[in-house]
Amino acid sequence: MTPLPFDLDRVLGESFALREQAEGYARAYLETVHHRPVAPAPEALAALEGFREALPTSGVAPPAVLEQLHRLGSPATTAQGGGRFFGMVNGGALPITLAARLLADSWDQNGAVAAVAPPIAALETVVEGWLQQLFGLPNTVAASFLSGSSLALVTGLAAGRWRLLERQGYDVNAKGLWGAPSLRVVAGAHLHAAALKALALLGFGRDQIEWVPVDDQGRLRPEALPTLDDRTLLLLQAGNVNSGAFDPFRPVVAEARAAGAWVHVDGAFGLWAAAAPQLAGLTAGHEQAHSWSVDAHKTLNVPYDSGIALCADPEALFAALGAEGAYLPQGTAGVLGLNRDGLRYGPEMSRRGRVVELWAALKSLGTEGVAQLVSQLHERARQLRDALTEAGFPGLNDVVFNQVLVDVGPDADAFAAALRESGEAWAGASRWFDQPVLRLSVCSWVTSEEDIARTVRAMVRCRETRA
């Protein structure tokens, strides 16, 4: 087959036409997402079967491809961008971040190497400093921009594993884990599933974990800590996934540092409390840890995927996760970011420039805007808790941040399903000290008082229907 000659004008014309078509679909979607049912209708889900087809032999015209994607995909989405999605601690998306992502995707930069993606390296350098400021961390802390806090957990714990073994005189990169000195893992009994996954990826099994009892809010109890030592990875939480409670960092981190242990703080959604003066007390003492994991696509309302790993020991980070290759160009000092190669900071090599949306969110909000956003989520959660209590749904946690747990009866799964089927709100069931509960996470910047009232009314109707 003879290739067609490249015609730049034709290619640009087709590209711009497709961009306009996609933007039209996006506009139509955004115009309805705040008013449509939060969960997709059964017929919309059934229509997804339209994607089940053989791979075309000769291909389909791009406009038709986009049309099918919008026609079948858009109605079947969950309205996470609206104000009544309270599931999985998922945030919405600030308008500036959607626009910035569109531009960044057009750049199509590979953030692995600064010489290949200079603006990505420059923005990562700037945002690293901004995060140090927002979280109250030393200016030597390194930031990795990853797909989510799950990978950020792997990153922080890998750095900790490398450092603890290096202190034992063992080079894990050269010798591997077989025959390595044994390390300990200490964590609260309510450790998140993402942390368990990260530990498993790093060679630590569940049976190795020394579990620490927690209080009635899921906080690790300092007096129950085992004796720590310089072979210990200690995992703490800035935001229990159910209650939103924060571990007592100051006494626990101080004890761990004195023993030579490595402390990692899982702050997927809760670490942002450090950026809001009225909530910063929840994280007091966290700044003395060694590594942290956090999501921007949760509390900060940046689009997926936007995770961050922070490490106070850059040498350990680079040693554990860095990569080298003769074909990789070296960084250049003297120009902002051009000595920062992203592949040294995390597990990923090739990756998109996801820092662009994060930079746009922080730049547009500023420190005051971030504090206001975080505080507003907390205030909405308190309003939701109070309204549910008044409607006869017993609250089960102290709403210190953005998580609300309520008792909806013995079959919380069925109640959650009924609420979602109503189309009025989306919430998930969970278990709290073996009690079935409904768990509502207030994470969207657009959640209003009316969204709260509408959700409570829907829950009352679900209760009455099920009575």
For the stretch 230-287, pLDDT in tens is: 999 999 999 999 999 999 999 999 999 999 999 999 999 999 999 999 999 999 999 9
Question: What tokens does 114 get?
Answer: 């600064």
pTM of whole model > 0.85? yes
What is the mean predicted confidence (pLDDT) over 302-316? 97
Cβ atoms of residues 355 and 124 within 8 Å: yes
The answer to whether residue 31 scores a pLDDT higher than 60 is: yes
Q: What pLDDT, on the 0 to 100 scale, is given for residue 335? A: 85
Chain segment 368-408, per-residue pLDDT in tens: 999 999 999 999 999 999 999 999 999 999 999 999 999 99
Q: What pLDDT, on the 0 to 100 scale, is given for residue 334? A: 75
d(C-alpha 248, C-alpha 58), whole Å:
61
Chain segment 40-53, per-residue pLDDT in tens: 999 999 999 999 99
Radius of gyration of the chain (CA): 24
Task: Please name the residue ranges forming H helices in 327-354.
Answer: none
CA atoms within 13 A on the CB side of 389: 13
The answer to whether residue 344 scores a pLDDT higher than 90 is: yes
State how beta strands 184-188 and 403-406 pair: unpaired
The residue assigned the tokens 């309805």 is 32
Helix (H) or strand (E) holding 156: helix 149-167
Handedness of CA 103, 106, 112, 115 (dihedral sign): negative
Cβ atoms of residues 209 and 184 within 8 Å: no
Q: What pLDDT, on the 0 to 100 scale, is given for residue 3? A: 61
What is the DSSP code (8-state) at residue 178? Answer: T
